[in-house]
Structure 1
Amino acid sequence: MARMATETRAILYGFWLSSCSWRVRAALHLKDISYVERSVDIVNKRSQLTDEYRVINPSQKVPALIIDGATIIESMAILQYLEDTRPKPSLMPRTPILRARMREICETVVSGIQPLQNVGLLSHFDSTDQYKNFTKYWTERGLYSLEDLLQKSSGQFCIENQLSMADLCLVPQLYNAVTRHKLSLDKFPTISKVYETLLEEKTFSETHPENIKQKDM
């Protein structure tokens, strides 16, 4: 990937298939923040485990964002920083109860689904099939929770008709569920409807992993 042309641009260290990287990529796009993405291959080359990358991100994961002279790790911390420093367009719903609903969805994804899909877990299982069954089970369980939550809060998007952090968490995880785990969304009509709508939004269509994959090749 090309080096950045100017130091004023943010640098996103991510991986095309990483759901956490996609969250941040979508936020940068939505807020029209100029950035360059540098690929960290966490699957084949295991580039995140190098000493060079550890200087950037001590946890040796993606994403990491260099912006405003600082390096920020962990996708949700990055999203909050972008919201705090560049509040328009906002990723936060307008009322306390809607913000609570948003955080319910975010936590269900970020704490309940995504960590149990991490490729780093594979080496701790006796077989690939055992790992796949484990991640598929927890992903599906999380989807049942999300279906109930979205029935309370969704409109066009997760939280009524405003794009929020909940959408940035939902879309990448559903993409993983459908592509990696071959899960059908037929049992989750509310999720499916919101997901299909969100995929048509430029925030997601223009930051889609398949587009990033082509740039990395």
Structure 2
Amino acid sequence: MRLYTYWRSTTSLRIRAALNLKGIAYEPVPVDLLKGAQNTDAFGEINPTHGVPVLELDDGTRLMQSHAIAEYLDTISPEPRLFPADPLERARVQAAALTIAMEIHPVNNLRILGYLKGRLGHSQDEAVTWMQHWMAEGFAAFQRMIAPDTPFCFGDAPTYADLCLVGQMVNARRWGLDLSPFARLAAIDAHAQTLPEIAAAMPENQPDAT
């Protein structure tokens, strides 16, 4: 397998961690988002939405969108599970993961910030305030959705919700979000990073990190 990725991409982090946890070997293919490599026609043939991650299977099939990729990996390699087998527990994990993947991350990603600062003329400080606002709102909801007293979001092992959280916590720290209201999330994030598979997926440990 090949994974089109970028060291600071938190959606790519989710899939790097998922692959590591499942023991699935992959070749990272760095795509430099800051230099606009994702906007080329050539990369548009790989992913029409011009984003990462993209997982390329051994037969050349390409899968896009981190949530869809994670579900595919859970299907072909069920252990350890990222999504519980029990329908009710699965729905809870999905809802929490999607709170980050759909409610927080999309309004904080590179192209949205580029539009805010470029087309709409907002300053860097205004863009950071925007990011902090949506992260705080989303984290407050996420914190109420997860279990109150388990090592990970929903138990003793990480689920896809934890991988989404770890990625978004990277952004929270990068952009100076006040994490004092989110002690539960900070504790889960710190515990998750004690797992070698998740630690290896962190941005600073990628071959293209700068």
Normalising by structure 2, what TM-score? 0.91
Is residue 48 from structure 1 mapped to residue 42 from structure 2 by the alignment? no
Residue in structure 1 matched with residue 161 of structure 2 by the alignment:
166
Report if the CA contact (8 A) 2:30-2:208 is conserved.
Answer: no
Tell me the amino acid that sits aligned with residue 205 of structure 2.
N
Structure 2: gaps of 5 or more residues = none
Identity %: 32
- Residue from 72, 86, 89 that aligns with 1:81: 72
Instruction: Report the Cα offset of residue 28 of structure 1.
Output: 0.7
Structure 2 residue matching 1:188: 3-state secondary structure: helix
User: Residue 198 in 1 paired to residue 192 in 2?
Assistant: yes
8 Å contact kept, 1:93–1:162: no
**1:6 match:** none
Residues 85, 153 of structure 1: alpha-carbon distance in 2 compared, 3 angstrom cutoff = farther
Q: Distance in 2 between matches of 1:182 and 1:167?
A: 21
Give the Cα–Cα distance (whole angstroms) in 2 for the partners of residues 185 and 130 of structure 1: 19
Is the contact between residue 93 and residue 159 of structure 1 (CA under 8 Å) also seen in structure 2?
no
CA contact (8 A) 2:203 2:209 kept: no
Aligned residue identity for 1:122: L
- What's the counterpart of residue 51 of structure 2? 61
CA contact (8 A) 1:72 1:78 kept: yes
What CA distance in whole angstroms lies between the structure 2 residues aligned with 1:182 and 1:211? Answer: 21
Task: Give the number of aligned pairs.
Answer: 204
Do structure 1's residue 139 and structure 2's residue 129 form an aligned pair? no
After superposition, the C-alpha distances for 1:184-210 in whole angstroms (9 at most, x for unaligned) are 322112112211111111121111100
1:146 aligned partner, one-letter code: F
- Counterpart of 1:176? 171
1:210 and 1:216 map into 2 onto residues whose CA distance is 6
Shift in alpha-carbon separation, 1:215–1:124, aligned structure 2, 3 A: closer
- 2:83, 2:94 within 8 Å by CA — same for their partners in 1? no
> What's 2:179 paired with?
185
Equivalent residue letter for 2:38: Q
1:141, CA displacement in angstroms? 0.7
For 1:23 and 1:31, how far apart are their aligned partners in 2? 12
Cα distance between partner residues in 1 of 2:77 and 2:88: 23
Task: State the shift of 1:215 in Å.
Answer: 4.5
2:171 corresponds to which letter in structure 1?
A: N
Question: Is 1:209 aligned to 2:203, yes or no?
Answer: yes
Structure 1 segments unaligned to the other structure (5+ residues)? 1-9
Compute the RMSD of aligned alpha carbons: 1.5
Separation of aligned partners in 2, 1:39 and 1:215: 6
1:103 is matched with 94
User: What TM-score, normalized to structure 1?
Assistant: 0.89
Report the residue type matching 1:173 in the other structure. Answer: Q
Q: Determine if contact 1:101/1:153 at 8 Å carries over to the other structure.
A: no
Does 1 or 2 have the higher relative contact order (CA < 8 Å, sep 6+)? Answer: 2
Amino acid at match of 2:189: Y
Say whether the 8 Å CA contact 1:14–1:62 is kept in structure 2: yes
Q: For the Cα contact (< 8 Å) 1:39–1:216, is it kept in 2?
A: no
